[in-house]
Structure 1
C-alpha cells in the first residue's frame, strides 16, 4: 500500500483503541481515514473474531469505500470487506469490515442492542450530522454503557468540532491528521443577485474550462438546478470532447459510479452534483470546482405537521469541503459564486438534521428501543421538544405507539420495513392481501421518490401510478428505482412472520384488492383527509386549510387525501392527492372516526342546537338532528349562551333589577356574608343560581317565563330576606304618609325622589343599613321637578329652604309654603287638610 498521511497517526489511534476506549479522529481531506483506518483495525488483537462496522452517510460512498478496501486486499467486495445499503448488500461469512448506511446501522441495533459479534463501530464524516448518525451514536453509547463495555466507538471527520464529541465519548482522546491535498486557489466570482443560478454557474464554468485544466465539479442545491444547468450548457454549446454527468442521490448507483469514474483519454467531463459529492468521494480527474454556495434542506414544522424544502447558504465547513474536491489529485481552483465578505458571514457549521427534521421515524425507533423520554440518551444535540411531541402524536394516530408512547406490534412491524411511519402504516394495513399489497408498495415507493411526472400540473396520484405501470413516466430511471423499491418491500412484508408486516388491524379484516388509491393513502395520511368547502377550497382533518393550485379533475370531489403539500401561508398548496369517497373513509378509518352528540349554542339563532355528528378530526362527515339531547348538556349550552350575551339576555324587570341593587348595597356596605350579585359574579356562577331553573328551555326567547325576582330572592336565606326589607327597604314612608320607592341603581348612593312638601316636619335625612348610609334626597317641586339634591336635610332647612320657598311660592302660589318647615304639616296635596 502507498503511504498516506493518516499512517503517521495510526499508531496513536490504535493505541487509544487498544486501551479499550473510544476515540475521535479529525483527519483533513485526502488523509485516507475512510479506507486506511478500518484496514488497520483488522490486524488488532482486541478484534478477535469480531466485526468492524463503519457507518457512511451515503450509499455511493459506502460502496466506493468497500470496493477500494477490497482492492487494497486483492479481493472482491463481499469477502473480508463488504457493504450493506438500501436494496443492495455484498457480505459473506468471511466478512470482517462491513460498510453500512445509517438506516442499516439502526436496524442492526434494534435487532441486537448488544451488537454481539461487533468489536467496533466507526462513524465516518460525522460532521454532516445526519439524523440516523446522531441516533446511531446515541444508541451505541447506551449499548456500550449498559451491555457492552468492550465495544469501541470511533468518530471520524475532516471538519469536526472535536471537543463536544470527545466529551460525549467519555473524554475520549482526539487524534489529528493532516491531509494530502494539493494547493487550491480560491476565486470569488459573485453571481448577480436575483438571476437564475444556472446562468451564473454556466458562465463561470465556460470561463474556467477555457482557463484551467482537468475536469470540473459543480455544486448545485438540487436536481432541478442540475437539470436546468445541463440544458443551459447544451444551449450555450460546449467544446468537443466535454461531457456532462449528473451526480445526486436519486440516480441509480451505477450512474453515480459512472459520474465519479475517470474519463477516457482525451475527454473532459463536467459533473453537476448536489452535496452528495462534498465528502467521502473522490471524483476522479477534478481540478476545477464551481460552487453555487447553496444547498437544499428539509425543514419540518411541528405547528402544521408538514415539511418544506428550503434553499439555504452552505456553512463555511461545507464550503471548505467542496473546495477541497479540486485538490485531491493535483493543484486546482475553486470558483465561489459569492463575495469574501459574504463568506465571513456564513455559519461555521451546518445545522444538525435533528433540529429541522420530521422526527416521527426517530421517535418510533426510540419507542422500540424502550425509551420514553429522549433525554435518557446521550445526544450531541437533543431532539427539539415541540417536534418530538408532534412526532409522538402522529405515531399515536397511526397506532404505532400507545398513549404512553410504548411501541405497539404495528409500530414494530413498521420500523422493520425501514420506511416512514405513515407509509409503513399503509403497507401494514394491506399486508394480508397480495393484490392490495402490491398497489400499496407501489404507492409507498412513488411517495419516497421524486415525482415521476415532473412538471405535471395535475396533482392526482393515480396519474403517477398509471405512468409507473405503463412505462410512460418522464424519468425512466426514477421509475425503475420505484419498481425495485416496491418489489423489495413486497417481498420483505410477505416474508415476515404471519404475513402482516405492519401489524394488521382487526378492522381491516375485510381487506381486499378493491381498495382505491385514496383509501390506501388515507391510512397513511388520516390527518390530511380534506373536505371541500363551499368556495372550492379544502380543510384538512388536522384543521389546516388547503387549496388546489388550479381547477383540475380532482376539484369536483368532496373528499381528497393530500399526501404532499407546501407549508406556505395559512392555506397550503396541494401538490399530490387522491380522491376518496365518504363511504371509504368510514370503512378504512374506523379508528379515527368519532360519533358525537353535539349540543351547542347557536349565537345567531339565540338557541341551543342539538345534532348527531360523525367526525374525522376537524371534518364533519355527516350530521342530523338529535331528537332527545341530554338535558344536562342543553342546560350547559344555554348557560354558555347567556354568559356570552351577558345579563341582558335575562328577563330582568324593574323589580328584579331593584332587588339586585338592594342586595348589592348590603354587600357594598361591608357585610361579606351577603351573596355577591355583581354582574361579573352572577355570570361566573350561573350554574349555581340559574341552571336549576332552565331545564326544558332551549332559547333566549323562552327565558321570558322565568320568575327572575323569585330566582334572585332564592339566593338569600330567610334571615337575609328579612334583614333586607328592614335595612334596605323598597319604599320609605315620609311624613305625608306616602310610601316613596327608593332608587338603588347606584348602591353607593340610593336616591329618594320626593316632593318637598311631603317632608315638612322631618328633621333628619332618612338613613339605611343600620343608619350607616344616608339616602340622597331629590327634593321635587309640585310639578315633580328637582329643586334641590341633598344628603343633609337639616342643613337644607336651615340654609337653603327660605330661598327655595321664595321661588316656589312665586311659581306655585296656591300651594302651602310655611315659614317653619320643622313645625309644618307635611302634605301630598296643595295644602294640608284642615
Structure 2
C-alpha cells in the first residue's frame, strides 16, 4: 500500500480512539483519510468482531471508497469492505467495513437504536453539513449517551471549523493532518462574466487545453449546464485524443467510473462535473480545474411550503476544495471564472443544509426516534422553528403525526419506507385501492430528475401521465433507443433507474406482480402526496393553490384548461408559482380523496347590488371553491345577522332616517353631551358599533332594503330610553320653543353643543334674557333674522344685543324694510310675527 499523507498522524489518531469515545480528524483533500482511516481501525482491539460504519455523503464517493479499500486488501467489494447506497448494496456476512450513504445510516439507527455490533461510526466529509449528516450525528450522540457508552464516533473533514463539532462531541480531541498537496496556480478573470455562463466556461476550457498539459475537471452548477457546455465543446475541434465526460450523481455507474478512471496513455479527458467531485473523489490525472463559481442547492420556503433548486455562488471553502483537486497528484492550475475583487464578496462557508431544507423527513425521523421536540437532541445548528412547524403541519395532514407531535402507526410505516414522507403516504394509501404499482412508478419518477429533455426552447409538457406512459413504453420495448414522447427525447438512463426503483418499492410492499394501473389516476394519487398543492383553475387561466397562492404553467398546454390539477413540482418565485410537473384530478375524485377535508360553508350575506340577503352553500378545499349552490330556508337569525353585516358595511345611513328620527338623535346627543353618565351615546359611530344591541332584535323577518324602510328609526332610538327619561327629554330638550310673539319655533340640535333658535328679530321684542334648555344650563344660540329670514346677528346673550348692537342693526334694516316695526326700546316693545304689531 502506497504511503499517503495521512499516515504520519495515524498513530496519534489510533491512540486517541483507544482512549476517548469521540474524536475529530482534520485532513486536507487528497490526504487519504477516506480510504486509509477505516482500514487502520480494522485491527484495533476495540473493533475486533464488530463493524466500522462510515457515512459518506454521496453514492459515487461511497462506492468508489469501498472499491479502493477492497482492492487495497486484494479483495472484491462485499467481502471485508462493502457498501450500502440507495438501490445498491454490496455486503456479506464477512463485511467489517460498511460505507453507507446518509439515508442508510438513519435506517440502521431506527432499526437498532443501540447499533449493536458496531464499534465506531465515522462521519466523512462532515464539512458539507448535509441535513442527514447533522441528523445522523445527533441520533448517534443520543444512542451513545443512552444505550452504548462504548460506541465511538469519529468526525472527519477537510475544511470544517473543528471547535464547535468537538464541543458537541464532549470536547473531543482534534487530530490535525498537514497532508501533502502540490502547488496550484490560481488564475482569475480580468472582469466578471456577463450573460450566460456556458460560453465563458467553453472559452476557459479551450484556453486551458491550448496552454496546459493534463486532464481537466470543470465544475458546473448542474446537469443542464453540463449538457450545454458539452454541446458547445462538440462544435470545436478538440482533437481525437480528447474525451469530454460528464460526471453527476444520477449518471449511470459505468459512466461515473469511466469519468474518474485514469486515461489511456496519450489521451486527455475533460470532466464536466457538478459539486459531486469537490470531496472524497480523486479524478485521476487531473491537473487543471476550471471553476464556474456556482453550485445548485435546494432551498425550502416555510412561507410557501415549497423547495426550489437555486443556483448560488460557491463559498470560499468550496472554491478551495475545488482548487485542491488540481494538486492531488502533481502541480496544477485553477481557472476561477470570477475576478479577485468578486472573491471578496463570497461567503466563507456554505450555509448548512438544515437551515434551508425541507424538514419533513427530519421531523418524521425524530418522531419515529421518539423525540417530539428537536431540542431533546444536540445539534450544531438546530432546525429553524418556522420550517420545523411547517413540516409538522404537513405530517399531521398526512396522518403521520398526532396533534401533540407523537408518531402514529401510519407514520411509522411511512418512516420505514425510506423515501420522502409525501411519497410514502401516497404509496400506503394507493395499495388498498389497487393502485400501488402506479404509486410506486410515480414515487420513482419523482425521486429522479425529469426524463423528458427539451428539444427546443419550449419545455416539455408538465403532465406526469406522459412520464408514466414513457416509462412503461421503455420497459415494454426493452429500452430501445432512440425514444421520444410528445416530441421530446426520453432520457433512457433516468428510465432505467426509475424502473429499477419502482420494482424495488413494489417488492418492498409485496405487490411485485401488480400491474401499474391507469395513468389517468395520477392526479388522484398525487393528491395524497401533495395535499397542499391541489390547484383550481381561475377564469384568467391561472390556478389557485389550496394555500391561496397563485400558480401557472410556463407555456400553454392541455393541462392549462383542466379545472383542477395537483402540482408535484413547482417553484415559489414571483407572484405565481411556476408549475413544472402536475397531473389533472377530477372534481368527483377530489370529493373521494378529500371528503373529510372539504369544508362546507353556509354563506348568508348581504348582496350590495341587489340590496338583499343571499343564501348559498359552498364546498371548498382550502382556498379552492369546488361547488356553490343556493342554500334553501336559512333561519331568521342567519338572515338577520347577514342584514346586520350589510348595514355595518354600508353604514347606518342606509336605514330610513326621517327628519323626526334625526332630530330625536340630536336631542339625545345633546343630553349625552350634557350628562354623559345618564344618557346613552347615539352618535352614528356608536350606533354602528352597537348594532347587535339596539337594531338586531328588530331585524327578524326582514331580508332586503325595502323591508328596512319599514323600520321607524325614531321608535328604535326612543326605545333606548326608559319612560322617565322620555318625559325628561321632552321637558329638558324641547323640539320647539314659544317665543314672545307667540310663534312656536323649532330648535336645531345639529350641533349638540350649541343648539340653534333661528327666529325673526321682531318676534323677540320684549325678551331680555336668552332662552335656555337642559335644566337652564345651556343658552340657545339665537340666530336673529331679518324680515326676509336672512341672519343679521348671532348671539347667546340677548340682553347684550339689545343694549349694544340693536341700534346699528335697526339703522341698517329700517332703510331696507321701512314698513316694518323698529321700536327705539326693543325690551319694552310689543313682539310681532307680522309687519307691525296689532293695535
TM-score of the pair, normalised by structure 2: 0.93
- 1:718 aligned onto 2:723: yes
Count of residues in Structure 1 that have an aligned counterpart in Structure 2: 821
Structure 1 514/21 Cα, relative in aligned 2: closer, same or farther at 3 Å?
A: closer
Deviation of 1:25 after TM superposition, in Å, equals 1.7
- 1:759 aligned onto 2:767: no
In 2, distance between residues paired with 1:624 and 1:578?
28
Structure-to-structure mapping, 1:804-815, within 5 angstroms: 804-815=809-820
Deviation of 1:450 after TM superposition, in Å, equals 1.4
State the SS of the aligned residue for 2:641.
helix
Deviation of 1:565 after TM superposition, in Å, equals 2.3
- The CA deviation string for residues 675-722 of structure 1, in whole angstroms up to 9 with x for no partner, is 233333222221222111112323334321112112122223334333
Task: Check whether the contact 2:126–2:160 (CA below 8 A) recurs between aligned residues.
Answer: yes
- Residue 568 (structure 1) aligned to one of 565, 573, 585: 573
Task: Check whether the contact 1:433–1:513 (CA below 8 A) recurs between aligned residues.
Answer: no
Deviates more, 1:715-724 or 1:447-456: 715-724
- The CA deviation string for residues 633-673 of structure 1, in whole angstroms up to 9 with x for no partner, is 33333222222222222222222222222222223235234
- The CA deviation string for residues 120-148 of structure 1, in whole angstroms up to 9 with x for no partner, is 22211111111111122222233333333
Deviation of 1:48 after TM superposition, in Å, equals 5.3
Task: Check whether the contact 1:186–1:334 (CA below 8 A) recurs between aligned residues.
Answer: yes
Task: Check whether the contact 1:6–1:31 (CA below 8 A) recurs between aligned residues.
Answer: yes
- Residue 496 (structure 2) aligned to one of 456, 467, 480: 480
Structure 1 679/187 Cα, relative in aligned 2: closer, same or farther at 3 Å?
A: same
Structure 1 136/714 Cα, relative in aligned 2: closer, same or farther at 3 Å?
A: farther
Match of 1:73 in 2: 73
Match of 2:612 in 1: 607
Structure 1 242/715 Cα, relative in aligned 2: closer, same or farther at 3 Å?
A: same
Task: Check whether the contact 1:192–1:200 (CA below 8 A) recurs between aligned residues.
Answer: no
Match of 1:202 in 2: 202
Task: Check whether the contact 1:758–1:828 (CA below 8 A) recurs between aligned residues.
Answer: yes
- The CA deviation string for residues 720-748 of structure 1, in whole angstroms up to 9 with x for no partner, is 33333333332233233333222112122
Match of 2:254 in 1: 254
Deviation of 1:158 after TM superposition, in Å, equals 0.4
Structure-to-structure mapping, 1:377-392, within 5 angstroms: 377-392=377-392
Match of 1:468 in 2: 471
Deviation of 1:326 after TM superposition, in Å, equals 0.8
Match of 1:625 in 2: 630
Match of 1:345 in 2: 345
Task: Check whether the contact 1:20–1:150 (CA below 8 A) recurs between aligned residues.
Answer: no
Match of 1:503 in 2: none
State the SS of the aligned residue for 1:518.
helix
Structure 1 718/35 Cα, relative in aligned 2: closer, same or farther at 3 Å?
A: farther
Match of 1:522 in 2: 527
Structure-to-structure mapping, 1:498-517, within 5 angstroms: 516-517=521-522
Deviation of 1:389 after TM superposition, in Å, equals 2.2
Deviation of 1:827 after TM superposition, in Å, equals 2.9
Deviation of 1:61 after TM superposition, in Å, equals 0.9
- Residue 781 (structure 1) aligned to one of 774, 777, 786: 786
State the SS of the aligned residue for 1:270.
strand
Match of 1:454 in 2: 453
Structure 1 320/712 Cα, relative in aligned 2: closer, same or farther at 3 Å?
A: same
Match of 1:364 in 2: 364
In 2, distance between residues paired with 1:16 and 1:606?
84
Give the gaps of 5 or more residues in structure 2.
475-482, 485-489
Task: Check whether the contact 1:50–1:96 (CA below 8 A) recurs between aligned residues.
Answer: yes
- 1:492 aligned onto 2:493: no
In 1, distance between residues paired with 2:683 and 2:203?
79
Structure 1 256/689 Cα, relative in aligned 2: closer, same or farther at 3 Å?
A: same
Match of 1:443 in 2: 442
Structure 1 694/322 Cα, relative in aligned 2: closer, same or farther at 3 Å?
A: same
- The CA deviation string for residues 494-525 of structure 1, in whole angstroms up to 9 with x for no partner, is 289xx99xxxxxxxxxx986862221222222
- The CA deviation string for residues 425-484 of structure 1, in whole angstroms up to 9 with x for no partner, is 2111112355x2111111121122111112153222221111111123521111101101
Give the gaps of 5 or more residues in structure 1.
501-510
- Residue 830 (structure 2) aligned to one of 815, 825, 828: 825
Structure-to-structure mapping, 1:554-565, within 5 angstroms: 554-565=559-570
Structure-to-structure mapping, 1:7-86, within 5 angstroms: 7-47=7-47, 49-86=49-86
In 1, distance between residues paired with 2:659 and 2:143?
79
Structure-to-structure mapping, 1:98-497, within 5 angstroms: 98-189=98-189, 193-432=193-432, 436-455=435-454, 456-471=459-474, 472=483, 474-494=490-510
In 1, distance between residues paired with 2:238 and 2:587?
57
In 2, distance between residues paired with 1:630 and 1:117?
71
Q: List structure 1 segments (4+ residues) > 4 angstroms apart after TM superposition.
A: 511-515
- Residue 730 (structure 1) aligned to one of 732, 735, 749: 735
Match of 2:683 in 1: 678
In 2, distance between residues paired with 1:829 and 1:145?
109
Match of 1:507 in 2: none
Kindly report the root-mean-square deviation, in angstroms, between the aligned alpha carbons of the 2 structures. Answer: 2.4
- Residue 707 (structure 1) aligned to one of 697, 706, 712: 712
Deviates more, 1:116-125 or 1:326-335: 116-125
Deviation of 1:568 after TM superposition, in Å, equals 2.5
State the SS of the aligned residue for 1:338.
coil
In 2, distance between residues paired with 1:393 and 1:160?
34
Task: Check whether the contact 1:294–1:311 (CA below 8 A) recurs between aligned residues.
Answer: yes
Deviation of 1:273 after TM superposition, in Å, equals 0.3
- Residue 595 (structure 1) aligned to one of 597, 600, 616: 600
Task: Check whether the contact 2:142–2:377 (CA below 8 A) recurs between aligned residues.
Answer: yes
In 2, distance between residues paired with 1:338 and 1:817?
101
TM-score of the pair, normalised by structure 1: 0.94
Task: Check whether the contact 2:223–2:248 (CA below 8 A) recurs between aligned residues.
Answer: yes
Structure 1 799/57 Cα, relative in aligned 2: closer, same or farther at 3 Å?
A: same
Task: Check whether the contact 2:5–2:179 (CA below 8 A) recurs between aligned residues.
Answer: yes
Match of 2:667 in 1: 662
State the SS of the aligned residue for 1:298.
strand
Deviation of 1:153 after TM superposition, in Å, equals 2.2
In 1, distance between residues paired with 2:607 and 2:709?
18
Match of 2:805 in 1: 800
In 2, distance between residues paired with 1:190 and 1:222?
25
In 1, distance between residues paired with 2:592 and 2:335?
59
State the SS of the aligned residue for 1:229.
helix
Deviation of 1:185 after TM superposition, in Å, equals 1.1
- The CA deviation string for residues 248-291 of structure 1, in whole angstroms up to 9 with x for no partner, is 01112232122111122222211110000000111111111111
Structure 1 487/667 Cα, relative in aligned 2: closer, same or farther at 3 Å?
A: same
In 2, distance between residues paired with 1:593 and 1:363?
26
In 1, distance between residues paired with 2:740 and 2:255?
113
Match of 1:504 in 2: none
In 1, distance between residues paired with 2:314 and 2:717?
72
Deviation of 1:39 after TM superposition, in Å, equals 2.3
Deviation of 1:81 after TM superposition, in Å, equals 2.2
Deviation of 1:552 after TM superposition, in Å, equals 2.3
Structure 1 22/631 Cα, relative in aligned 2: closer, same or farther at 3 Å?
A: farther
Structure 1 512/202 Cα, relative in aligned 2: closer, same or farther at 3 Å?
A: closer
In 1, distance between residues paired with 2:90 and 2:535?
45
- The CA deviation string for residues 299-327 of structure 1, in whole angstroms up to 9 with x for no partner, is 22222222222211100000000001111
